[in-house]
Amino acid sequence: DTEVTQTPKHLVMGMTNKKSLKCEQHMGHRAMYWYKQKAKKPPELMFVYSYEKLSINESVPSRFSPECPNSSLLNLHLHALQPEDSALYLCASSPIPGVLTDTQYFGPGTRLTVL
């Protein structure tokens, strides 16, 4: 099973709402990633978890809060977002953190609209 799943597929939220995005993989991968992709742009790295610990935070605003409850699951908690945070949020996983020969596998993404 080489699949990364993400829920929900679409999310519309107001600026005062709190919501969460969920990502799951059952490939035994020990690195998981959140990316943000705006229209007609490449994905931009937000966070990396290695062995369930946050290893990279690309200076992401605190209104985005990642969580890795176990090796298969990655959440992104959203609070007090701005309309400019509307984007496609992609989750990815790779087998071994810190190894330069990793292959990343991506989920289908959550399309977020902030009103």
Partner 1 sequence: GIQVEQSPPDLILQEGANSTLRCNFSDSVNNLQWFHQNPWGQLINLFYIPSGTKQNGRLSATTVATERYSLLYISSSQTTDSGVYFCAVTGKSTFGDGTTLTVKP
Asked if residue 41 binds partner 1 (CB under 8 A), the reply is yes
Cα distance between residue 24 and residue 18, in whole Å: 20
Closest CB to partner 1 among residues 18, 38:
38
Asked if residue 25 binds partner 1 (CB under 8 A), the reply is no
The only residue of 17, 22, 30, 45 in contact with partner 1, by rule CB under 8 A: 45
Both tokens of 69, joined, read 């409850």
In contact, 76 and 66? CB cutoff 8 Å:
yes
- Footprint (CB under 8 A) of partner 1, residues 46-65: 48
Asked if residue 35 binds partner 1 (CB under 8 A), the reply is yes
Do you find a cis peptide bond into 8, omega within 30 degrees of 0? yes
Q: Which helix (H) or strand (E) holds 73?
A: strand 73-79
Asked if residue 97 binds partner 1 (CB under 8 A), the reply is no
In contact, 107 and 5? CB cutoff 8 Å:
yes
In contact, 43 and 55? CB cutoff 8 Å:
no
Query: Taking the complex as a whole, how short is the minimal distance between the CB of residue 39 and partner 1, in angstroms?
Result: 10
Site size toward partner 1 (CB under 8 A) is 22
- Residues at the site binding partner 1, with contacts judged by CB under 8 A: 33, 35, 37, 41-43, 45, 48, 88, 90, 92, 94, 100-106, 108-109, 111
